Amino acid sequence: MTDSKNSKRLIIGLTGGIGSGKTAATDLFAAQGIDIVDADIVARQVVTPGAPALESIKAEFGDEYIDAEGHLNRAKLRALVFSDESAKQKLNAIMQPAIRTELLDQLNQAKSPYVILSAPLLLENGLESYCQRVLVVDVPEALQVQRATNRDSVNEEQIKSIISSQIDRPTRLTKADDVIDNSGSLSELKIQVNQLHKKYLTLADG
């Protein structure tokens, strides 16, 4: 348990595999007036030009990973860390502390009765320690692959590689306090989100 578990605000950690529909779920919570802290957005915010994390990346990996406008060349750095485990560890050592600091700042600034911390690697990176409950958005792997390939214009093998790099579905589900089955329609998703929203409001009042 971390300090966030002992704070008064109810923090819900939302996660799920690629193509599970995490964004659709968080959009529905946001429509209810709930603050969303998105780890993917934070990961981009901490490497904006002039940010300490970007300067550390430049010092560690070299100027060739920074473009002419001073932005991180994500594709080039992604290719490096995908093929070099040592580089991946060095990048994580720079990024994870910066991300965690910003996540905590945004969680502390949240004003809604409860807050959603959305992170695809919530469990892999230990971010569930900031949360009182874990909410998993779940779909079968075949549907993950179908949705992700349609959305991201990448091939099936790339999607399966990403899935294999994430925590497996059975383990993810065993970590869940709540589960959204997102294998159906948007209206079915909305019903489940509305039910959970009412539940979380009650828990937040408690």
| Domain shared by 18 and 94, yes or no | no
Query: Is residue 13 marked as binding?
Result: no
Q: Is 164 annotated in some ligand binding site?
A: no
- Which residue range(s) make up the domain with 161? 1-34+114-206
Please indicate if the annotation marks 20 as binding a ligand.
yes
Both 124 and 198 in one domain: the answer is yes
171 is annotated as contributing to ligand binding? no
Q: Higher confidence at residue 158 or residue 173? A: 173
The number of residues making up the chain comes to 206
How does pLDDT run across 44-100, given as a tens digit for each residue?
Answer: 999 999 899 999 999 999 999 999 899 999 888 988 887 788 998 999 999 999 999
pLDDT digits (tens, 9 = 90+) for 27-54: 999 999 999 999 999 999 999 998 999 9
Instruction: Report pTM.
Output: 0.85
Buried b (16+ CB within 10 A) or exposed e, 96-107: eebbbebbbebb
Query: Residue 175 CB: number of other CB atoms within 10 A?
Result: 14
Q: Distance from first CA to last CA of the chain, Å, rounded? A: 19
Last-in-domain residue among 111, 126, 150: 111
Same domain, 50 and 107: yes
Burial level of 62, CB count in 10 A (0-12/13-18/19+)? exposed
Whole-Å CA distances, 55 to 69, 72, 98: 14, 10, 12
Q: Are 25 and 182 in contact (CB under 8 A)?
A: yes
Per-residue tokens: 147 = 């949705």
Q: Is 22 labelled as part of a ligand binding site?
A: yes
58 among the known binding-site residues?
Answer: no
Q: Same domain, yes or no, for 88 and 50? A: yes
